[in-house]
Amino acid sequence: MITLGIETSCDETALAIIETKHTDGNVEYRVLGSLIHSQAALHSPYGGVYPNLAKREHAKNLMPLLKKLLEDSMVLLPSPKQTGESNFTQKISDIKNKYNEKNSDLVDSLVDIDFLKRIPAIDKIAVTEGPGLEPALWVGISFAQILSELWSIPVTPVNHMEGHIVGSLLDAEMDSQWKILKPIDFPALALLISGGHTELVKIESNGSTDAFPLKYKIIGQTKDDAVGEAFDKVARLLDLPYPGGPQISQLANEASVENGGQSDRAIKLPRPMLNSNDLNFSFSGLKTAVLYAVRKETEISGTISVDFKRQIAKEFEDSVNEVLCKKLRMAIEETGAKAVIVGGGVIANTRLRSSFTHLANEYGLTLYLPSKHISGDNALMIALAGALNGKDIEGQLKADGTKRLA
Ligand code: KG4
Ligand code: ZN
């Protein structure tokens, strides 16, 4: 089965094509193409993602990105079918009328679209329906529906967080070779750490020989800010550009090198909910503690030095690391998990990758981490989730900005 994935939930416009087949209880896959267009530089001056700007950019970029993706994957895709000229013209005209009111930006991008006359040999279109920024989600969903109507290919809605889970089962090398999807030992535990979510999810066998669709239960989550959000907000307090995660991570590494790994820092930040005896998180107090530390330093020194930023970054990363590891330990012990899957943009963080690796070794667990280039938002994970779990729907999809794993 060949699946086209579409991801526009935040500030990455991404498209990918994956081919999957089921063999002897395994899922085999090969990547036919994957493109990510990041808008991070555009949002950077605002210190975060500006939803309507993200929406406009997605609308502008989707069509050229699709053209490139189909060109890239042409040799791997079976031959396309050709649509009749008059049929195509009529369909495009109907689509323009239908989508113009709700998504005029996307309709405006329907120029130079002769390449769409060749119907690619795709069986399914998988699109992120949530969670995410609603205006941004809408563009991807409308785009999926336009292609579906034009090519008569079914659409499958995908939960973005489920995408992050299955994305961690892919092999690091994104070449076009057939590979076996890493099998999951049940019960498994997923730790999802992104810009919008911090969740601990128990994954149990669905009772059939096929692991998919996966069966989920959220057993812990943040009460306020998500981890990635805390990284981004702390970065802003330190006058660092968006996205803050990589910036904080780099400063923390520099502090480690300078101190030779010693933690004799004067700044001490809280470890929120470390001893709360449940699997929930809270990161907004940590951000507020950074705010007070920054204010105090500015009063004393008149400014915040690079050295101060490094110390804060290190202490902040230490706090996040300590809390995540403690809750992960508790969750492993509570669920008897045999495998841990970590997904979401924050797992690009080297320190966290190393801590989770140690922790998994200590418990003798299998650990699944996404390769660094697909730890952030991408469409490969959406295409894979759609191929494995998706139910095709008839009629119009809804963007659900709040959609969670249930
Ligand atoms: O999954 P993702 O790309 O988007 C959402 O679904 O939210 O996650 C983005 C988040 C941002 O908050 C970003 O600052 C954070 O991942 N991030 C990092 C690192 N790289 C990205 N956080 C900590 N350390 C990093 N190296
Ligand atoms: Zn994400």
CA-to-CA distance for 140 and 157, rounded, in angstroms? 11
* 109-121 pLDDT per residue, tens: 998 999 999 999 9
Contact 163, 157 (CB under 8 A): no
Q: What is the pLDDT of residue 400?
A: 79
User: What's the average model confidence in pLDDT over 254-259?
Assistant: 78
The pLDDT of 337-345, averaged and rounded, is: 98
Indicate whether residue 192 lines ligand 1 (CB < 6 A): no
Distance 194 CA to ligand 2 centre (A): 6
Q: Judge if the beta carbon of residue 346 lies within 6 A of ligand 1.
A: yes
Read off the pLDDT of each residue in 227-244 and give the average, rounded to a whole number: 95
Structure token digits, residue 308: 């101060």
Rounded Cα distance, 262 and 358, in Å: 19
Q: Is residue 118 a contact partner of residue 109, using CB atoms and an 8 Å limit?
A: no
Nearest ligand to the CA of 54 is 1
- Weakest-pLDDT range from 40-44, 79-83, 220-224: 79-83
**Ligand 1 neighbour 7 (Cβ under 6 A):** no
| pLDDT tens, residue by residue, 268-322 | 999 999 999 999 999 999 999 999 999 999 999 999 999 999 999 999 999 999 9
**Chain center to CA of 336:** 26
Tell me the C-alpha distance between 340 and 369, whole Å: 9
Q: Does 63 score more than 90 pLDDT?
A: yes
pLDDT at 256: 75
Residue 132 alpha carbon, nearest atom of ligand 1: 6
Asked whether residue 265 carries a pLDDT value surpassing 60, the answer given is: no
pTM: 0.95
**Contact 8 CB / ligand 1 (< 6 Å):** no
CA distances from 208 to 25, 92, 106, 256 (A): 10, 43, 42, 48
* pLDDT for 262 beyond 80: no
Average pLDDT over residues 115-133: 95
Distance CA 369, CA 122 (A): 28
Indicate which ligand has the atom closest to the C-alpha of 353. 1
Ligand 1 pocket check for 245: Cβ under 6 Å: yes
What pLDDT is stored for residue 34 in this prediction?
96
Closest atom of ligand 1 relative to the 164 alpha carbon: 1
CA 106 / ligand 1 centre spacing (Å): 27
User: Which of these ranges, 54-63, 251-260, 296-305, 336-345, has the smallest mean pLDDT?
Assistant: 251-260
- CA 260 to chain CA centroid, Å, is 33
Instruction: Give which of 1, 2, 3 is closest to 383, Cα–Cα.
Output: 3
Please indicate whether residue 321, judged by its CB atom, sits closer than 6 Å to ligand 1: no
